[in-house]
Amino acid sequence: MPDDQNDKLMEQFIERATPKLLEAMQEGLAKQIEDQIGGLKANAEKMLDEIKDARRERETREKQQATEMGQLKTLLERGDAPKDIHQHLSPEPIRLTRTQARDAALYRKAKAQAEKAGTTLEIVTDE
């Protein structure tokens, strides 16, 4: 008889304790799952940003190539000499001395001018 009573008491304990144990475990598991999903989410966002950046760079390159091809076509249609075409398509870089480059306003202006002209900005030593 005592074994039957112990079994009944054990079953009653399990019935009452199980919901509370599950509730306590659920909070801990929810936090762990949230932490893991948060890491995956951050990683996915980083990858999407990299894909978007690569796409923007590709589109910029394609636009630049289309512009250059249009310029080349125009120059060829005008019948310019090959030397003139080469100079027009690959302009000389804009050069600033180190002293000039330290002037922020001048540097920004030169950089904008270089981008507009489709060339580069070159920093040279002071002479």
**What pLDDT is attached to residue 48?**
92
* pLDDT band at 109; cut points 50, 70, 90: very high
Domain ranges within the chain, ordered by starting residue: 2-79, 91-127
Q: Which residues of 4-25 are buried (b: 16+ CB within 10 A; e: fewer)?
A: eeeeeeeeeeeeeeeeeeeeee
- What is the residue-averaged pLDDT of the chain? 83
**pTM for the complete prediction?**
0.40
Q: What is the mean pLDDT of residues 29-58?
A: 88
Identify whether the C-beta of residue 106 lies closer than 8 Å to the C-beta of residue 96. yes
**What pLDDT is attached to residue 34?**
84
* pLDDT band at 69; cut points 50, 70, 90: confident
Q: Distance between CA 16 and CA 84 in Å, rounded?
A: 92
